[in-house]
Amino acid sequence: GNSSWLVSTVEFMTLDVFNLLELISISISLVSFILYIIWLVKEGNLADAMSGDLNGFLDYCEDLTGQARLYTRLSAMNCLLIFIRPLKFVRQSVRFAQLYQ
């Protein structure tokens, strides 16, 4: 039933660290996509924010920069993970297989 599917999934992810890295990378990609869409929507409200008072505009800018900073950090972490993921295929090479022993 459902428990055997869950056990199989957990075993698949934990027996090979590269499978777990792929899951983390895909999750970060989805979260980054959502953050980017949210940022686009907020950035689209720039004209409304500029028409208000200065404190409101500064809060708006601070919110946008915080959102952009989080997106940038997640994207950088994801790039590192994406760079590591091809090592899954390199480890089957005879020369690199010795490193995994």
C-alpha 92/C-alpha 52 separation (Å) is 60
pLDDT band at 100 (very low <50, low <70, confident <90, very high): low
Asked if residues 78 and 29 have their Cβ atoms less than 8 Å apart, the reply is yes
Looking at residue 49, what is its pLDDT? 87
Looking at residue 99, what is its pLDDT? 67
Question: DSSP character for 23?
Answer: H
Q: Which residue has the higher pLDDT, 81 or 2?
A: 81
Predicted TM-score of the model (pTM): 0.72
User: To 10 degrees, what angle do helices 2-15 and 17-43 make?
Assistant: 100
Asked if residues 64 and 43 have their Cβ atoms less than 8 Å apart, the reply is yes
Q: Return the SS3 of 101.
A: coil
pLDDT in tens, 20-65: 888 899 999 999 999 999 999 988 888 888 898 999 899 999 999 9
